[in-house]
Amino acid sequence: MAYVITSGCAGVKDAACTQVCPQDCIHDAGNQFVIDPDECIDCGACVPACPVGAVYPEEDVPHDQRASIARNRDFFL
């Protein structure tokens, strides 16, 4: 399990989440930021830091945003 950044990040990309992540596992993927699922320790610190509510625990990602799970993971393959 890991946290996932959804498409709400695109267009904002203020990097606020990267400032609070203790793992430095949030990276700029171009159109949005993404979380490395192998490095994320599920601390949840990035959730309140995001001004647009774009970050979710994987199991709570809304159904219309499920593609974000692969978008985050595949960036680090």
**What residues line the site for ligand SF4 (CB under 6 A)?**
3, 5, 9, 12-17, 20-23, 25-26, 33, 35, 40-46, 49-50, 52, 54-55
In angstroms, give the least distance from the CB of 71 to ligand SF4.
Answer: 12
CA distance 44 to 2: 9
CA distance 23 to 40: 7
In angstroms, give the least distance from the CB of 36 to ligand SF4.
Answer: 8
Give the nearer residue to ligand SF4 in terms of CB position, either 22 or 77. Answer: 22
CA distance 23 to 12: 22
In angstroms, give the least distance from the CB of 63 to ligand SF4.
Answer: 19
CA distance 68 to 61: 8
